[in-house]
Chains A and B, each alone.
Chain A
Amino acid sequence: MPETWYLVAVLVIVFTITVGLRSVPFVVLGPLRGSAFVTAMARWMPAGLLGVLAAGTLLGAAGTGGEHLLPALCAVAVTVLVHLCLGRRTLLSVGAGTTTFLVLVNLF
């Protein structure tokens, strides 16, 4: 188990950076609001950034040796299908995907 000072340091770092990212734009973005750069980044960033996070966590779930790669890919497929076919209800899609992974990993 990590030491307490390490955990406290993590909390302080995470708090400072997150609140900074949420608050500084209200001060700084005022003049930049609607600038071409900010508009372009706001439009381009979310999809790709979330895609990288999805790919990274997929590899994490697959395991270091890739032993759970097949269950992970099946579970992603279920998540995508449920999300697109059953009306983009996040809870339902995440639940279906996670259940698929849990069942595949624990039964086989």
Chain B
Amino acid sequence: MNQRTSTAVPSGTPIAEIGAGVRASLAAGLGMVPLGVAFGLMVVQAGLPWWVAPALSVAAFAGSLELLLVGMVATATPLAAVALTTFLVNFRHVFYAVSFPLHVVRHPLARAYSVYALIDEAYAVTAASSERWTSWRLLSLQIAFQVYWVGGGLVGVLLASLAPGRIEGLEFALCALFVTLTLDACRGRAQVPSLLLAGTCFTAALVIAPDSALFVGLLLFVLALVGRYLLTGRRTTSDA
């Protein structure tokens, strides 16, 4: 199998398709494993039981949310705040359905898994590629992602138990991840209004509710976007 097989042959044998799916997962996987290790370390360092790392990675399978939840869960944040944070942080997933090639997956169980495992990376890889997706290829991509993520978390848990003692500052990986994702999301001037709105909302949240600025900031931002749509969106989007 050479590099071009994936585009030259639209649908091969299951084994060839699985190989193509795993190959497509490698680039993003390179980022997921170290982040998973950092997540596992954070779980143990926050004083949570080790099984919280794999359990969260199966229940949520959403890296950024899981990293955020470690701190919230360790301080026993009320469940309602956990629920609202989950809703707002993962709300972007609602928009992934628009272009995700779920239609290639036929088996009901496989479809259920594919929807469950529709993470940022799966959306990004399928949205960015011109490959022809097949059921085997898409599922092997998503399963590979989950193996990287859960595996990374377990390695982190293991490392933390081998080398006890807190490493201060590791949680910055989450901030750095959001910074790079923000940069990737705004290429070009079209995103400037959204960023300004977001900045204003977060600043307002810091004043109104300094203790839950993140949550209030996200809520204000979503409300502001709805307002923006009602004021201007109909006109601009109908032009686009």
Q: Is the CB of A14 within 8 A of B116?
A: no
A25 vs B15: C-alpha distance when bound (angstroms): 31
Q: Is the CB of B30 within 8 A of A60?
A: no
A17 vs B181: C-alpha distance when bound (angstroms): 22
A61 vs B42: C-alpha distance when bound (angstroms): 13
Residue of B nearest to A8 (CB): B55
Contacts of A37 in B (CB 8 A): 229, 233
Q: Is the CB of A84 within 8 A of B197?
A: no
Within 8 A of A (CB), among B28-83: 30-31, 34-35, 38, 47-49, 52, 55-56, 59-62, 64-65, 68-69, 71, 73-74, 76, 79, 82-83
How many inter-chain contacts with C-beta < 8 Å in the A-B complex? 252
Q: Is the CB of B213 within 8 A of A39?
A: no
Check: B118 CB closer than 8 A to any chain A CB.
yes
Q: Is the CB of B49 within 8 A of A90?
A: no
Check: B240 CB closer than 8 A to any chain A CB.
yes
Q: Is the CB of B185 within 8 A of A94?
A: no
Give the contacting residue for B179; candidates A9, A26, A43, A76; CB below 8 A. A76
Check: B130 CB closer than 8 A to any chain A CB.
no
B223 → A minimal CB distance (Å): 12
Give the contacting residue for A36; candidates B31, B221, B225, B238; CB below 8 A. B238
Contact A10 to B102, CB < 8 A, known contacts A22-B115, A50-B182: no
Which residues of A does B touch, CB under 8 Å?
1-2, 6-7, 9-15, 17-19, 21-26, 29, 33-34, 36-61, 68, 71-72, 75-76, 79-80, 83-84, 88, 90-91, 93-95, 97-98, 101-102, 104-106
Which 4 residue pairs across A and B have the least CB separation, nearest first?
A: A48-B198, A56-B214, A25-B97, A97-B176
